Structure 1
Amino acid sequence: MRPLDRIGSIKLKLGILVGVSVVVAVSLTAVSGYLGVRTRWTLPVVIVLALLVTQLLARGMTSPLREMTAAARGMATGDYARRVTATSNDEVGDLARAFNTMAADLAAVDRHRRDLVANVSHELRTPVSALRAVLENLVDGVGQPDRATLQAALHQTERLSGLVTDLLDLSRVDAGIAPLVRETVALQGFLDDTVAEARLSRRPVTYVVRVDPADLTVHGDRSRLHQLVANLLDNAGRHSPAGGTVTVVARRAGDRTVLEVTDDGPGIDPDDRAHVFERFTTGGADGTGGTGLGLAIARWVTQLHGGRIEVAEPDRPGQGCRIRATLPGGTTA
């Protein structure tokens, strides 16, 4: 029972508690005097009833504190599912709601840590197992160190390298270590160079770059912006069908610069668009999902530059995924 929940101040509740106890004591004393009951019998009864009233009111006031104590002990053993009943409007209620928020955040962090270990273990196991098999075949003389075999080993090594790079970037995100070395970046040459690197993956897609105006520049960290565009290109290339087109567009939008990467893949379900930038969300209904870190890193880089990133609506029927990063500033040379 919490009869004082609607009162918004713990001080007022304590005042009411004291006032009710005094009223009960005075009333019982007056009634006993009127009935002629002796004081030695009246006093114990008054004290007991006053304590009962105090206990009734105080129990409701302190029950969130007891729940918080029990929940904190559970958290110490790894149980983050317990929550506190926060129905009062006073300072204790505010504390209970803040405690519930903290418990939810800790539960999310713990779940994320478990997902991190599980996903990294899975992602590392596949290339390591494949690389080990190739090397064992070469050592045992089963296979020959021909071009195809060495190319397979190189591919798995590159996959490991990419995962390690993503994890290092992820550690920088968590540590908040991300100094920006800003400079003026000419987007036409920058995007051409980044797309040329993407073509080295030899995916069966065509890359198209459009910059409007052609001398558009942006003030930012070149290496971080390279991470942003390279991850978007990698995501688009993986999800585009053979013979598809990946289009990179840079344009002015008022006082901002918009970077858009579009593919011809199956697109992203509207219900999933809010989650694709979360870590280890691979999407990939077509079975081409990567580590699930690329878009999370892209969001991080965009936010470092004071911008935002989103999955935009397709601008034509049949268009696949269209990811838009909006960066502050943007000038012409």
Structure 2
Amino acid sequence: MKLGITGKLFFAILATCMLVLITMHWGVRLSFERGFTDYIRSGNEQRLSLLGNALAERYRHEGNWQFLQRNEKIIYQLLPSIEQSHDENDEQTLPPQGWRVPFWIFDTQNHMLAGSSHPVPRQATRKAITLDGKTIGWIVGMPSEKLTRSADINFAKQQNRTSWMLIGLSTLLAAIATLLVSRSLLSRVKHLVTGTHQLAAGDFSARVLVTSKDELGMLANDFNQLANTLEKNERMRQAFIADVSHELRTPLAVLQGELEALEDGVRQLTATSLHSLQAEVRSLTKLVNDLHQLSLSDLGALTYKKSNLDLIALLEQAIAAYQSRFTHKGLAIETDLPQSAVVFGDPDRLSQLFHNLLENSLRYTDATYADTQGRLRISVTITKASILLHWHDSAPGVTDEQLSQIFERFYRTEVSRNRANGGSGLGLSICWNIVDAHGGEISANHSALGGLEIQLLLPLVTEMVSP
């Protein structure tokens, strides 16, 4: 069976906890055994010293070692008094339950006076029994390098069992905590995996719940933003296909109707009918060209031959080219421009940008509105690093909802700025791409003249020369 990420994370954390627990167990066990052995050895050495002192005092009272030779049991009678005297007068306590190792007592001639019946080992320690600075005998004890008494051994075993029980309990608690933590962490990952599968299957409405502000929460938030973008792009794609098919269907239907009428003899092949056919073909040609330009700009495939150029001179040329058409429609063009403003850009693309904006104002501005002559006002604001063009036209205007969609491809308002004016709805989309390719910004607002205001921001190369 393949182990999932939940199982891998669980066993990884649990193995780490087990390694830490076992390492701590052995460390504590070694420390306890060594410390307990040192404690027992230190207690035995203290008892030997105390017993030597007690025997020295008895030797002072008796004058010789005959009291010990006649009665070896006197040593064991001295032990309780030694323990009691030590507990009362010494802050450092002795190990409980008496002596742990055998001992022997010798006089100055190395005659054994009392002690264990076992031979004295080589590693035994000898302590002198002194009286008034004079050695009167020796007390020999076996050093305690390991536990020998059953009570000490049982105590050590009990501590070992308790330690293993604590390890078992800690392991159980660690397993439970690890399971809860791994499930909590990976539950959000599973939601992201499920959402990703839904996106891959084409369900762009998939969203995940953001429950934290950590890295997983940031990932969930990014996932939702990605899903929003994909969903929006899918809607735009569907709308784009529908708009393209509609835009192509209308002139094709007109062409088909005109040709069928000519074929059936309903209409005669005259200059007027040919002009009507040519108008529909021009409409189709313009739409196809706009689509081609838009696709190239979207892909970044439009060729840009940038150089330092005078943007004001380029704008004045575009205005001059449209002046007669504006005058013919009854529209006035008002300008407030500086002498020059140098930018780094492509003159052909920037000319295309200005022509699209002028064409948009020409198509969608009324000659008269509420007894006021229609007009286009172009002004410029210069800063140290940029130039801002204000493109105001007069009524009719657009609503707030229409304003937010003005740069979307094929979008045209359905009231005053409608399809009857012949636009393809791609001009402002192309403008947006051209401005973006020049490192600028373009936006739309309500105009103080009652129509639409286009703000065009481009970076400057040099400062403005005053008019």
Q: TM-score when scaled to structure 2?
A: 0.56
1:85–1:96 contact (8 Å) kept in structure 2: yes
Separation in 1 of the partners of 2:328 and 2:268? 26
Which residue identity does 2:233 align to in structure 1?
V
How far is the alpha carbon of 1:331 from its aligned partner? 4.9
Aligned pairs for 1:142-161 within 5 A: 142-161=266-285
Identity over the aligned pairs, expressed in percent? 30
Name which of 314, 327, 339 aligns with 1:187: 314
Larger C-alpha radius of gyration, 1 or 2? 2
1:236–1:263 contact (8 Å) kept in structure 2: yes
2:334–2:376 contact (8 Å) kept in structure 1: yes
2:359 is the alignment partner of 1:228: no
Name which of 337, 347, 357 aligns with 1:212: 337
2:325 is the alignment partner of 1:199: yes
2:415 is the alignment partner of 1:285: yes
* Equivalence for 2:32: none
Listed as ranges, the gaps of 5+ residues in structure 2 are 1-8, 25-157
Separation in 1 of the partners of 2:223 and 2:251? 43
How far is the alpha carbon of 1:264 from its aligned partner? 2.5
Separation in 1 of the partners of 2:379 and 2:238? 38
* Equivalence for 1:8: none
1:187–1:216 contact (8 Å) kept in structure 2: no
1:17–1:54 contact (8 Å) kept in structure 2: no
Which residue identity does 1:192 align to in structure 2?
I
Q: Deviations over 1:247-290 (max 9, x none)?
A: 25253523444434333222123454343223333234325154
2:309 is the alignment partner of 1:309: no
Q: Deviations over 1:59-96 (max 9, x none)?
A: 11001211122112212221011112232333333322
Higher-RCO chain (CA-CA 8 Å, sequence separation at least 6): 1
Name which of 263, 269, 278 aligns with 2:399: 269
2:377–2:393 contact (8 Å) kept in structure 1: no
Aligned pairs for 1:232-251 within 5 A: 232-243=357-368, 245-251=374-380
1:258–1:327 contact (8 Å) kept in structure 2: yes
Which residue identity does 2:355 align to in structure 1?
A
Secondary structure, counterpart of 2:329 in structure 1: coil
How far is the alpha carbon of 1:155 from its aligned partner? 2.0
1:187–1:217 contact (8 Å) kept in structure 2: no
How far is the alpha carbon of 1:132 from its aligned partner? 1.8
1:86–1:96 contact (8 Å) kept in structure 2: yes
* Equivalence for 1:323: 454
* Equivalence for 1:5: none
Aligned residues: 304
Secondary structure, counterpart of 1:286 in structure 2: coil
Separation in 2 of the partners of 1:143 and 1:260? 49
Q: Deviations over 1:121-168 (max 9, x none)?
A: 111111111122122222332212323322222222222122212211
* Equivalence for 1:58: 182
1:205–1:240 contact (8 Å) kept in structure 2: no
Separation in 2 of the partners of 1:292 and 1:205? 24
* Equivalence for 1:102: 226
Separation in 2 of the partners of 1:236 and 1:261? 9
1:250–1:257 contact (8 Å) kept in structure 2: no
1:195–1:207 contact (8 Å) kept in structure 2: no
Structural RMSD (CA)? 3.8
Q: TM-score when scaled to structure 1?
A: 0.75
2:254–2:280 contact (8 Å) kept in structure 1: yes
CA, structure 1 residues 46+327, in 2 after alignment: closer, same or farther (shift >3 Å)? closer
Which residue identity does 1:266 align to in structure 2?
P
Secondary structure, counterpart of 1:210 in structure 2: strand
1:264–1:321 contact (8 Å) kept in structure 2: yes
2:288 is the alignment partner of 1:164: yes
Which residue identity does 1:300 align to in structure 2?
N
* Equivalence for 1:176: 300
How far is the alpha carbon of 1:314 from its aligned partner? 2.9
Separation in 2 of the partners of 1:150 and 1:141? 14
